[in-house]
Amino acid sequence: MSRAGRAAAIAAIALWLGGAALAAEPPAPAECPPGLPESTTCLRGRDSHGAFLLIARPANWHGGLITHIFGGPRMAPPARDTTDEDLLRYSEFLDQGWAWVSTSRRRAGFAIRRAGEDTLEARRIAGQVLGPIRFSLLHGQSWGAAVAARAIETLNEPGADGTRPWQAALLTSGVLAGPSRAYDMRVDLRAAFQAICGTHPRPEETQYPVTLGLPRGVRMARQELMDRYLACTGAELAPEQRSPAQLRALSDLSAASRIPEWAIPGHLTWATTLFADIAWQMMEGRSAFGNQSVRYSGTSDDAALNARIPRIAPDPSAAARLAEDGDPTGRIAVPVLTLHGVEDMTAFVEHEAAYRTTLEAAGTDHLLLQVFTEEMEHSKLSGPIYAAAAAALRDWAETRRRPNASEIRGRCEALASRATGPCRILPDYQPRPWTSRVNPR
C-alpha cells in the first residue's frame, strides 16, 4: 500500500474508532421511497463529505443492519434519491427484519477506496441513529462488490469495544477479479471496434488511445455511441436485412472481445464512460489498461485484425495505482458469501474463480462460500436468495460453522412462499478460470 493509501485507510479507521466527524445534516425522519411497507421508518441526511444517506428500519427490526453499496459505478451526480431504487430492489432485507443504510457517495465515478470510506462513514452514522447494532452485514452489488471486497480488507478493524464495522460480507453479481484485469474484455472491445468499424473516434475527430475512453473534457451521449455501433453492425436489424459487412463486423467484435453479441452495447458504453472517468479523474490522462500482447482469434480474418488493431501499453504507474485502489488481496477476517448468476454477461461468473484464487493465495478461502444460480440477470437475482444468504452469514459469523450451497438453497426455499422468485441454486457448479473467459495478457 502506498503512503497515501495508508494515510487514507488510517484516517477512515480513526473515524470508525473515534466517531470524530459529524454528519453535515444529521439523519432525520423523511419519506420512504414509494412502494415500501407503510410500517417502514426512513431517515435521510448527509455525511461530513456531503454524501446523501438513506436509512430504513422495518417494524420487525431484529437488530441487524445491511450497509449497501450500489453498482455501476454510477456517473450521475449524487442526489438525495440516488439509492432509493436500491432499497426498493432489495426490499427482501427489510421484509426479514434487517435495517438498511446506503450512501450516494460524495462523488460520482470510480475510486473504489474513496467509495469504501464513504460506506464506512454511512455505517458509523447509522449506528449512531439506530442504536446498538446486533449484527452488521456489508452488501456490495456488482461494482459495489468490488468496493466491499476492498473495504473488508482495509477498513474493517475492530473498534474500542472489539467490534468490527462489519461482521460479514455479501457480494452479489460481483466484479471481483480486480480492476487491473476486470475490464480486459472491454479493452479488447474498444480496440476491435476501432480496427473493424473505425468510428470511435472517427478519422476526422481527435485521435486518442481508446483505453482513455474519450478525449479530455469530451462527453458522448449514449445514443450517439449507439448510432456509431449500429451503423457499423446493423444490430437493430434482422440478420437478413444487414449487409455482409455488418454481419461480419458484429461477429468479429464478439469473437475478438469474447462478449456475446447482444451484450456488446452495454460493455461498449462502459468502455467509453468508465474508461474516461478512470483516465481523467484518477490517472491524469494516463492509460491503466493495455493490449500489447493479446492475440485475437476466432474472427473472419485473424491475421488481418491482429495486424491493424491498435496496440496500447499501460502506463506502469497508472496500472499500479488502479491495482492498489481496487484489486483484492484476500486479506480478510470475516465470512464472505458471494452470489452470482452463471449466465451473467455484465459481470462474468468467472470473476468468482478469480476471487477464489486470490483468497486461496492469501490462505483465507476458508472464510469464503460461493453460491451460483441458474440465472442470467445481473442487477437482481431471485428475491428470496438474498434474505437466505444474509441469514446464513449471520449464523456463520456467530457459530463459526461454515454453511454450504445446499443449505442456502434450503433456506431460500423456506422463504420462497413469502418472497417472489424461485431458488435455482446450483450446489455443485464451479466456474472456469478467469483466463478461460477473457483474452490472456
pLDDT at 421: 86
Residue 420's pLDDT band (cuts 50, 70, 90): confident
CB count within 10 Å of CB 418 equals 12
At residue 22, the pLDDT reads: 55
Sign, CA dihedral 408-365-136-9, equals: negative
> pLDDT (tens digit, 9 = 90+) per residue, 97-119?
999 999 999 999 999 999 999 99
Residue indicated by cell numbers 454528519:
23
Q: In this model, does residue 12 exceed pLDDT 60?
A: no
State the average pLDDT for the chain.
94
Q: Considering the entire predicted model, what is its pTM?
A: 0.93
Tell me: the pLDDT tens digits for 33-64?
A: 999 988 999 999 999 999 999 999 999 999 99
Residue 387 CB partners (closer than 8 Å, separation 6+): 92, 93, 95, 96, 415, 419
Cα atoms in the 13 Å half-sphere on the side-chain side of 172: 27
Above 70 in pLDDT, residue 169?
A: yes
| pLDDT band (50, 70, 90) for residue 287 | very high
Distance CA 406, CA 421 (A): 17
> For strand 368-373 and strand 336-341, is the pairing parallel, antiparallel, or unpaired?
parallel
Omega before residue 73 within 30° of 0, cis: yes
Could you report the per-residue pLDDT of 295-339, keeping only the tens digit for each? Answer: 999 999 999 999 999 999 999 999 999 999 999 999 999 999 999
Mean local confidence (pLDDT), 276-284 = 97
| Beta partners for residue 53, in sequence order | 45, 103
Cβ distance 52 to 123 under 8 Å? no
pLDDT digits (tens, 9 = 90+) for 184-240: 999 999 999 999 999 999 999 999 999 999 999 999 999 999 999 999 999 999 999
275: nearest Cα among 255, 291, 263, 260: 291
